Structure 1
Amino acid sequence: MSARANELARLVDRFGDVTVRDLAWLLFASDLLREGNDGVALARPCATPAERDATLAWLASLDAAPQALHDHARDPKFTRLGIYAESLLRYFLAHGPAARLIAANVPLRRQRRTIGECDFLLETQSGVRLHWELAVKFYLHIGGDDELGTSHSSREARLADYVGPNLQDRFDLKHARLITHQLALTSRAEFAALGFEGPWQAQLYIKGRLFYHGLKGDGVVPAPQIGDDHLRGWWLTASEWRAARCDAANGARAWVVQPRMAWLASRRLDAAEAQALVAESAGIGARLEAAAAPTMIAAYVRDEAGGWVEESRGFIVPDDWPERARAFAASAAISASAPTV
């Protein structure tokens, strides 16, 4: 685990409530992208050390009495992780000690047709007006020349090599959409007509995790746009999972399937939860081998206090997934080389 990941774990682990932990993760996790790449400015929820300290104190108070946050963010209608993350950030901007929320989810229309929506409009304590676009993404790296079971290629990855687990999203496509469309919304005439007094500085608020092949998840040179401290995970095929015998039969490790709404912050397990999960871990391998879609799991180990903490996070994918994922990533090169008309 990197020093930055250790720092994030230390910040998050001080809070016991799951929703508060997710909010802390959203505020303090490393950005997926590198600052200044392609001219993109990254959002900073805590602009100064004083704001950071005040935010941690505010989160501690929220952890002691989290019901208001639960009422806001744990809406049963929130079935998409992105909507849940938006609700967490909106709560922070509306009630936290840093920037002040002006508006959220502001639609832009042309001839009654919606052409975009600004995620957040806010004002910092120093009076700067910011437009934030939020993206929380989880991509698996697939190397075009890699063979399963061999060491990774040392070639530099492309953004197109990072694909969504269900192969319906790709980092290069999302990156282009964010830069060319979403961040440009406050510079459009349709936004100016809404009457929000500016000027506005557009910033990208991008969090998430990137997953690399193999339990160690190393050996790949990330794409140049990727932040040095981005959060990492691993992925294995179902056959590789079986060969690795990741069955926690000795009770030293518990493997837990992570539902999508639990993809943000790590969780802590108490003794009762851990005992049940360790008992179930022996059979989790068979379930994952038969899974028809990629499944995120987390590995938990005992800490010195006798509790259970998250050790790593990864995906188990069907055996035919890598071939399909490479084809999806390779389609970026085909599209780029196609003649324009």
Structure 2
Amino acid sequence: MFFSPLDPDHPYFALPSQHQRDLIWSLLGPALLDCPWSPTSPELLSKACEWQQWIAEIGCAPEYRSPRLGLMFEQIWHQYLELCGNRWQANLQIQQQKKTIGEFDLLVESQASAQQQWHLELALKFYLGFNQDWIGPNRRDYLADKIRHTRDKQLQLSHNPAAHELLKSHNWRSLQPQALMRGCLFHPADKDISATLPEDVNPQHWRGHWIHQSNAQHYLPQGDWYLLSKPQWISPARVDFSVDRDTLLRHKDTHFRHIETALCAVQLEKNKAGFWCEQQRWLIMPDHWPKPA
């Protein structure tokens, strides 16, 4: 498994396409959780650890059905399972009295584990610590709610009587439920804001920082910077150029005069090949966050 930050000369940063880096990080990047129902190193990733032997077989990205990062993450996993030759089925819906009562994210039969069958719930999440809560940038999503919903509802689907015949008809049996969560937790740079982690969080999770935009001048470190677009959030960035801190701050001021969405800024170091490689990730938030505008 990989840990953040990666050395700029790590083989990961030598991968030529963002999609290859997204795929490898989605598989081997730090797990968001570490608990019995969401382990950091699931058996299903045994082939992924040999990534340098097969990554060249992955060319272009799939034709994504949606720009939403969570759905892109799911399709990245589908591509990996195809490469491994595993039998899998995605988004199998459970219906009762013509109503959908649940859906399996992913069902997998692993050829490498004596045909072990898994029910996987996949998630790619980004949360900011604010006192007792970890909140998504859009304020509608909470880490505590996601943990509870995944553990108590999604991973219990195979025990639902309505699912038994459906699973049997698709030749799924004795499923082992697990959640596989990736993403980044942004800790407050402002020492006046606390952030308490839930006990199920992996201590070695992908860690970023966040700050209100009016305090960015005080907290953002000196260095070379780049602003990520949303599709670039999935994995640590490798880019061709950087800007200095003053240029970043001027852009930040212009942005927040007109727009109230978060800015994702990464601090960079240049590697021996001449590419700029992410070493720190920051979210710059409007001053009213997490309150509504």
Under a length normalisation based on structure 1, what TM-score does the superposition of the two structures give? 0.74
2:252 to 285, 298, 305: 285
Shift in CA distance, 89/142, structure 1 to aligned 2, threshold 3 Å: same
Aligned to 1:23: 23
Distance change >3 Å, CA 201–CA 53, structure 1 → 2: closer
Aligned to 1:338: none
Choose 299-308 or 88-97, whichever is displaced more.
299-308
Deviations 1:288-323 (A, max 9, x none): 44331322222223334433111211111111115x
Give the CA deviation at 1:244.
4.4
The one-letter code matched in structure 1 to 2:266 is: A
Alignment partner, residue 336 of structure 1: none
Q: Point out the more displaced range, 181-190 or 128-137.
A: 181-190
- What is the DSSP-based 3-state SS (H/G/I as helix, E as strand, rest coil) of the residue aligned with 1:42? coil
1 or 2 for the larger relative contact order (CA 8 Å, sep ≥6)?
A: 2
Q: Whose helix proportion is higher, 1 or 2?
A: 1
Residues 94 and 103, structure 2, Cα contact 8 Å, conserved in 1: yes
**Structure of greater Rg:** 1
Cα distance, 1:45 vs. partner? 5.6
Give the 4+ runs in structure 1 shifted more than 6 A.
none
The one-letter amino acid of 2:226's match is W
Give the match for residue 42 of structure 1.
39
CA distance in 1, matches of 2:72, 2:45: 26
**Gap regions ≥5 residues in structure 2:** none
Write the deviation string for residues 27-78 of structure 1: whole angstroms up to 9, x where unpaired: 0011111222xxx2437465576x245443111332xxx13xx2x2x43x41
> Which whole-Å deviations, capped at 9, do the CAs of 1:68-105 have from their partners, x for residues lacking one?
xx2x2x43x412111100000011112236xx132111
Unaligned runs of 5+ in 1: 144-157, 326-341
Is 1:127 aligned to 2:123, yes or no?
A: no
Two-structure CA RMSD over aligned residues (Å): 2.8
Where do residues 320-331 of structure 1 align in structure 2 (5 Å cutoff)? 320-322=288-290, 324=291
Deviation at residue 243 of structure 1 after TM alignment: 3.7
Alignment of 1:206-221 (within 5 A): 206-214=181-189
TM-score by length of 2: 0.85
Q: Of 248, 260, 263, which aligns to 2:233?
A: 263
Q: 1:89 aligns with which of 51, 59, 77?
A: 77
Is residue 255–residue 284 contact of structure 1 (8 Å, CA) maintained in 2? no
State the alpha-carbon separation in 2 of the partners of residues 230 and 107 from structure 1: 31
Going from structure 1 to structure 2, the CA distance change for 1:317 and 1:132 (only over 3 Å counts) comes to: same
CA distance in 2, matches of 1:136, 1:245: 26
Whether the aligned pair in 2 keeps the contact of 1:58 and 1:96 (CA below 8 Å) is no
Using the TM superposition, give the Cα deviation of residue 220 of structure 1 relative to its aligned residue in structure 2, in angstroms.
Answer: 5.1
